[in-house]
Structure 1
Amino acid sequence: MKNLLLSALAVFALGCSSAWAADPLVAMQEAPVASWTGCYVGGNAGGGWSHIDQKNVGLVNGTIDDPPLDYGSGSGSGFVGGAQLGCDYQMDRWVFGVQGMFDFGDIKGSHVITAFPTFNFEDNVKELFTVTGRAGYLFDPAVLGYVKAGGAWAKVDSALYRSGPPQSLSQSDSYGQLGWTVGVGAEWKFARNWSVFGEYNYMDFGKHDVTYTLAPGAGGSAGIVSTKLTVQQAIIGLNYRF
């Protein structure tokens, strides 16, 4: 009798274990996240904020302003949007990569020139291009936090206006300026080949000298204006990974 009960319990236990293993809710496992190693291409959009400081450092005829004449400062804001491409390499929980990003911009700003209150200076950051290295840590197999740093380039349209009435354009200029950038962001790989990200970037383009004629009637003297430009950028984007 004892042997019969033991045999019955063994058969019952074996049947329960077989049924448990066959249960699809228990057997089902979450699909593993694919490696971050590979390349990607995508698009981005967001906002940009600029800040400009200006000083007149001298005249074209050789006269030096010492100390430089303060021309004031101004801030701007506007839309940015563009594309990025890059490649990553995963080492355990660390991800390293390189990236190129290009954005069109419409970051407009203006300010009154302190030394000449009848003149306004306007600037518009039209293009931004960065080449950066990127290093990140996987807080989750699908969630990457990262920092980035590298070189930056900006195209800026500027204009000097005589404030009215009547308002008139005194002079305009368009120039490119090299600088550097640092940034921080997070990226979520929501599917095998797709990820979304959000990031903040700071760019410093140093100083650029532009020649403007503030008072054509005063001997035709032209001033050399030193312009220091910084840009901040906050964007979200989508990447296709391959």
Structure 2
Amino acid sequence: MKKIVLALTAVAAMTGSASAADLAARPYVKAPVAAPVASWTGFYVFGGGGGGLSNSDQRIQTTATALPLTIDQRQGGSGWFGTVGLGYDWQFSGTWVAGVFADGQFGSIRSTVQDPIFPTGPITGRQKLEDSWAAGVRLGWLVAPNVLSYVNGGYSGAHFGSTTFTTLAGTPAGVHINGYNRNGWFIGGGVENNLNIFGIQSPGWFMKTEYRSAFYNAKTSDILTDGTNALTTQSIRANSWNQTISTSLVYRFNWTGPVVAKY
């Protein structure tokens, strides 16, 4: 009988110890920290490059004949350019972003200028869009917290370089037109995305790809003789329509998210 009592006592003691162990304090686990909300509000700078196409409606006018003669034609060209700029964005209503920006382009987009009725025979030249500048606004929608799709538009100005003409045989024609500035406007659009991809952490760094179409008002240029700048009997009135596609690296000074939650 004593043996039975002792056995029951041992079993009770072991059960009590197990229950006490179950009631011991559990290890502390830190709650997950919420990821910061991405914000597009703030200043940014960018730089990049791309390629462009140029089209021009030209009207050749001459007084060399008894009656004034005009010929209308369209010419084009292409080339490359670099760009730098800065801007400021505001994020509102959760997924919308509005901003202002200014930028400049420089490079070598060239278009053809021809005069098929020059008194000494047809002449041709190449005109270079040496640099341009723009100031505008943009409005975008966040496809994802770190991806912005946008449209933009605003004012644009450009400087077109002087054009030296040659004959169809390639010899100097002895005439030219001077360079000039033109004003106009542009519309465009693009996509901008954060570069935190493929496991690479690059807070603040973005890439944007943008299409832009710029229209510059017409300019009448007299064809001048080389050396003396004396007027000839010819003039060319031309406008310009330039289309460009560029890719730029962007740095945002205030970018903080989104990042992976920490535990």
Q: Secondary structure at the match of 1:192?
A: coil
Normalized against structure 2, the TM-score is what? 0.73
Deviation per residue, 1:196-228 (Å, 9 max, x gap):
1000000000211111148xxxxx643232111
Distance 1:119 1:128, change over 3 A: same
Q: Secondary structure at the match of 1:121?
A: strand
- The answer for the alignment partner of 1:107 in structure 2 is 109
Instruction: Check whether the contact 1:122–1:159 (CA below 8 A) recurs between aligned residues.
Output: yes
Normalized against structure 1, the TM-score is what? 0.78
How does 1:127-138 map onto structure 2 within 5 Å? 127-138=131-142
Give the structure with higher Rg (CA).
Answer: 2
- The answer for the alignment partner of 2:162 in structure 1 is 158
Unaligned runs of 5+ in 1: 215-219
Distance in 1 between residues matched to 2:127 and 2:35, nearest whole Å: 51
- The answer for the alignment partner of 1:239 in structure 2 is 250
Distance 1:32 1:170, change over 3 A: same
- The answer for the alignment partner of 2:143 in structure 1 is 139
Q: Secondary structure at the match of 1:110?
A: strand
> What amino acid sits opposite 2:248 in the alignment?
G
1:203 pairs, out of 210, 214, 217, with 214
Distance 1:106 1:40, change over 3 A: same
Distance 1:205 1:56, change over 3 A: same
Which deviates more from structure 2 when the two are superposed, residues 168-177 or residues 43-52? Answer: 168-177
> What amino acid sits opposite 1:96 in the alignment?
A
Distance 1:30 1:54, change over 3 A: farther
Distance in 2 between residues matched to 1:123 and 1:202, nearest whole Å: 19
> What amino acid sits opposite 2:100 in the alignment?
V
> What amino acid sits opposite 1:237 in the alignment?
S
Shift of 1:167: 2.9
Distance in 1 between residues matched to 2:116 and 2:36, nearest whole Å: 61
How does 1:216-235 map onto structure 2 within 5 Å? 221-235=232-246
Deviation per residue, 1:27-85 (Å, 9 max, x gap):
8788445310001112021111111121035659xx984xx612532211111102010
Unaligned runs of 5+ in 2: 1-14, 196-201, 226-230, 254-263
Deviation per residue, 1:161-209 (Å, 9 max, x gap):
1313633341131111000000010000234322110000000002111
Distance 1:39 1:80, change over 3 A: same
Distance in 2 between residues matched to 1:50 and 1:143, nearest whole Å: 30
Instruction: Check whether the contact 1:144–1:186 (CA below 8 A) recurs between aligned residues.
Output: yes
- The answer for the alignment partner of 1:217 in structure 2 is none
Percent identity over the alignment is 27
- The answer for the alignment partner of 1:175 in structure 2 is 180
Alignment partner of 1:47 is 2:51: yes
- The answer for the alignment partner of 1:186 in structure 2 is 191
Instruction: Check whether the contact 1:33–1:192 (CA below 8 A) recurs between aligned residues.
Output: no
Distance 1:115 1:59, change over 3 A: closer
Instruction: Check whether the contact 2:79–2:110 (CA below 8 A) recurs between aligned residues.
Output: yes
CA RMSD of aligned residues (A): 3.2
Distance in 2 between residues matched to 1:165 and 1:234, nearest whole Å: 32
Instruction: Check whether the contact 2:136–2:152 (CA below 8 A) recurs between aligned residues.
Output: yes
Instruction: Check whether the contact 1:159–1:169 (CA below 8 A) recurs between aligned residues.
Output: no
- The answer for the alignment partner of 1:94 in structure 2 is 96
Distance 1:96 1:165, change over 3 A: closer
Shift of 1:159: 1.4
Q: Give the count of matched residue pairs.
A: 220
